[in-house]
Chain A
């Protein structure tokens, strides 16, 4: 991809984020609601509600509020939380690494698992293996994510005690010095193996829940792509030249089957960022999902807007990476673009 094309992509990404922010802002401000009352508290009198509206700029016309908000964003000001009356940047930036740690570990495991199972499933000649895999995949798709989370929590953590019930670290553990915000990585960087193990232990159930939720789609997409590639001429040629099934899958089919898989994985990363809310709520995982859930309970609109921006930016960024990956995986695309 040329710098010009990259520039175009980045510009369109900024445009997408602006549209998302604008729509979210307008929806939250145009619907008949009284955010000042929510911000002032349920017991606040009319005078206090009015004072709160003035303090938070909610008495200004919507377009003025919108202009102020966008101007603040450009200068890195994400706004002030209605409930804490403090700039929300600190709390948001503390929550982002927690969610990203959860999402990235889940992605790594489910990519390995989903693609691995998909390769086997798409390549197997055994009807029994195929049926068992299909059943497992169907079960994973059918189970609602919150139900899986609750079951894992109640049985694995509650009854058996094999994993913690909630949180990122045990209460007697102190978080490692923040470098990346990922407890697992920061613990390694600061040479604290006990903290690393505790962080991994706490990731166990939330990550398992997300992997169960996502794994089915990756396995199915990979399986379908691999099955189609098996019918391609180059595969017949490879097999005729004496390549084993394993070698054919790993050296010939794998790379060609990856384009649709990468597309789906990119989309799923975005879904994961928004979709961790239920998992974060059940496991009290202090990420942006829990942050937004709590904000929604008290109608803290600036927090909801800020989390929306974070998810949008991540979505756009991952889509950009996916676009960059296509030509790497498929030389035909590289040539056509050139």
Chain B
């Protein structure tokens, strides 16, 4: 949940910014209130009357990287998405900080009885930033363009057999199999102006990629003002935006590349930046607490830190050893590392994700149980050596390895830990016998579809040998059948039941140590604590029109 300022804080800040007149009103209102929470309706009324003057008319978002190619058909990383989310719309969007899907350019939809054909009605009166009107033809052309470019977002077409504009107001998607989570894919497919594509395409560049790399033509709330090299992007709020921008959307939004976390905090503290992207850890959160103008926005994270246990290589192919490893890991110490900025992991779905297990199911270290299992398997002082890998630069991965290493050492089992650059790891994982026994992996939900993150971890087609992230090399036909059932379920309770069955099935095989679910924590300027981040967009992305 985002940290909201108390009413008193809110009024004091407001007074500081807008001068004596507002300060007088603020003081009066503060005097009428108390420090404790009051009735929501009263608070809402106060916010509504004081919100507009409190917020500066410009916001600067600082992050390690900003979009280097502005084309929405290319970028799928969080840096690109910060731009894309503010310059473009899809047919649907995610509600900020949650997995809920909301209509944007679509006015609604109908689905056929067999669940294979989705028909969408288009919103009327929407115009692109280049002034051309939005119709269903633009949706079809944009989807065709994204599919043809075949980068980033193109992966979300895998479930579509075809799509077409029936007329200007109606768009149809035909699926290659029932898939009840289709709407959750659509926010990843932004719509671009067909007129801009046509005006800028060439024989060598039929999709105008060169133009869209440094220009934008979308229906989003902000228009591109300037792109200064690879270090700054300036955008301005559109006065002809079709939707409600709320009372707190800044008139200008700049994205600035700042790599060093200390520099980012300094900028926030000196009123030179208002929002941040990722790149912070518990150490920076502690530093932020010492700065007078910096506060933290905390939301439920939709990410898991996991350690995949190789089920195809001796000795981790033994479920007894895997179970012992799961109970040997010191979850409390790992949680301490996160200094309260992480939630206990309960299984293969991050807490807060549809179908995730309740917090009571969180794993805890159980040395006695682990000792019995190790004894049962004959592993104690047996000379067994296990291997562990984490990504270089990700200290949280290396620390998990250290915890496991020291726990195993108590039983005379060696764990050889390695941190490698990311591109070096997949080639090693391409063979189950060269793959590490234990591989640290960060698992994020990119859509509200729980089957996506489950299949990513345990789908038989997603083994590391096939370029996927199933580095546990888990395979079970029953799991695949349950996934199909969940994806084709006609109602959410059937889907959730299937997801529950899959989670139980997988966890019983102990293919993974679920270490923690880090919270989504972003330092922001103290006047911007109402900022909301899109958890499904890789932790860093925020759309200021969602601020309330």
Partner of B260, one of A49, A94, A282: A282
> Whole-angstrom distance from the CB of B179 to the nearest CB of chain A?
16
CA separation between A89 and B9, bound complex, in Å? 50
Q: Does A299 contact B (CB under 8 A)?
A: yes
B230 to chain A: closest residue by CB: A91
Of A60-68, A158-166, A207-215, A252-260, the one touching chain B: A158-166
Partner of A32, one of B68, B257, B428: B428
CA separation between A236 and B285, bound complex, in Å? 65
Residues of B within 8 A of A31 (CB): 424
Q: Does A124 contact B (CB under 8 A)?
A: no
Partner of B424, one of A32, A153, A297: A32
B209 touches A46 (CB 8 A): no
Q: Does B364 contact A (CB under 8 A)?
A: no
Q: Does A237 contact B (CB under 8 A)?
A: no
Of B13-21, B24-32, B267-275, the one touching chain A: B267-275
CA separation between A40 and B74, bound complex, in Å? 9
> Whole-angstrom distance from the CB of A26 to the nearest CB of chain B?
16
Which residues of B from 399 to 414 have beta carbons under 8 Å from A? none
Partner of A91, one of B64, B68, B267: B68
B209 touches A85 (CB 8 A): yes
Residues of A within 8 A of B422 (CB): 38, 299
CA separation between A297 and B64, bound complex, in Å? 10
CA separation between A166 and B269, bound complex, in Å? 13
A171 touches B263 (CB 8 A): no
B257 touches A294 (CB 8 A): yes
B272 touches A37 (CB 8 A): no
Partner of A165, one of B68, B74, B154, B267: B267
Report A143-168 CB contacts with B as 1/0, cut-off 8 Å.
Answer: 00000001001100110010001110
> Whole-angstrom distance from the CB of A318 to the nearest CB of chain B?
25
B426 touches A85 (CB 8 A): no
Q: Does B22 contact A (CB under 8 A)?
A: no
A85 touches B151 (CB 8 A): yes
A43 touches B423 (CB 8 A): no
Q: Does A51 contact B (CB under 8 A)?
A: yes
Partner of A43, one of B228, B231, B424, B446: B446
Report B276-315 CB contacts with A as 1/0, cut-off 8 Å.
Answer: 0000000000000000000000000000000000000000
B423 touches A299 (CB 8 A): yes
A43 touches B254 (CB 8 A): no
Instruction: State whether A297 and B262 are in contact (beta carbons under 8 Å apart), knowing that A45-B158, A86-B213 are contacts in the complex.
Output: no
Report B212-234 CB contacts with A as 1/0, cut-off 8 Å.
Answer: 01000000000000001111100
Residues of A within 8 A of B229 (CB): 91, 94-95, 286
B426 to chain A: closest residue by CB: A34
B: contact size bracket: 35 or more
A33 to chain B: closest residue by CB: B423
Q: Does A41 contact B (CB under 8 A)?
A: yes
Report B146-157 CB contacts with A as 1/0, cut-off 8 Å.
Answer: 000011101100
CA separation between A240 and B466, bound complex, in Å? 85
CA separation between A33 and B260, bound complex, in Å? 27
Q: Does A79 contact B (CB under 8 A)?
A: no
B228 touches A171 (CB 8 A): no
Residues of A within 8 A of B457 (CB): none
B423 to chain A: closest residue by CB: A33
B228 to chain A: closest residue by CB: A175
Residues of B within 8 A of A49 (CB): 467
A165 touches B228 (CB 8 A): no
A45 touches B155 (CB 8 A): yes
CA separation between A217 and B140, bound complex, in Å? 64
Instruction: State whether A299 and B213 are in contact (beta carbons under 8 Å apart), knowing that A48-B151, A282-B263 are contacts in the complex.
Output: no
Q: Does B76 contact A (CB under 8 A)?
A: yes
> Whole-angstrom distance from the CB of A98 to the nearest CB of chain B?
9
B446 touches A166 (CB 8 A): no
B68 touches A81 (CB 8 A): yes
CA separation between A45 and B156, bound complex, in Å? 10
B424 touches A286 (CB 8 A): no
B155 touches A33 (CB 8 A): no
A41 touches B266 (CB 8 A): no
Q: Does A227 contact B (CB under 8 A)?
A: no
B467 touches A37 (CB 8 A): yes
Q: Does A22 contact B (CB under 8 A)?
A: no
Q: Does A284 contact B (CB under 8 A)?
A: yes
CA separation between A166 and B428, bound complex, in Å? 40
> Whole-angstrom distance from the CB of A95 to the nearest CB of chain B?
7
Report B56-75 CB contacts with A as 1/0, cut-off 8 Å.
Answer: 00001000110011000010
CA separation between A287 and B254, bound complex, in Å? 20
> Whole-angstrom distance from the CB of A27 to the nearest CB of chain B?
12
A290 to chain B: closest residue by CB: B259
B76 touches A161 (CB 8 A): no
A86 touches B257 (CB 8 A): no
Q: Does B170 contact A (CB under 8 A)?
A: no
Partner of B266, one of A45, A52, A154: A154
A284 touches B421 (CB 8 A): no
Q: Does A248 contact B (CB under 8 A)?
A: no
Which residues of B from 154 to 172 have beta carbons under 8 Å from A? 154-155, 158
B229 to chain A: closest residue by CB: A94
Report A176-203 CB contacts with B as 1/0, cut-off 8 Å.
Answer: 0000000000000000000000000000
Instruction: State whether A284 and B259 are in contact (beta carbons under 8 Å apart), knowing that A37-B467, A299-B421 are contacts in the complex.
Output: yes
A158 touches B269 (CB 8 A): yes
Q: Does A83 contact B (CB under 8 A)?
A: yes
Residues of B within 8 A of A293 (CB): 259
Q: Does A291 contact B (CB under 8 A)?
A: yes
Q: Does B468 contact A (CB under 8 A)?
A: yes
Residues of A within 8 A of B426 (CB): 34, 37
Which residues of B from 423 to 443 have beta carbons under 8 Å from A? 423-424, 426-428
CA separation between A86 and B215, bound complex, in Å? 13
Given contacts A158-B266, A291-B230, A294-B65, 12 further A-B contacts (CB under 8 A): A33-B423, A33-B427, A83-B69, A85-B69, A85-B151, A85-B213, A86-B69, A154-B266, A165-B266, A166-B267, A294-B257, A298-B77
Supply 16 A–B pairs (Cβ within 8 Å), ascending by A. A37-B423, A37-B426, A40-B152, A43-B446, A85-B74, A86-B69, A153-B262, A154-B262, A161-B270, A166-B267, A171-B232, A284-B231, A284-B260, A290-B257, A297-B65, A298-B65
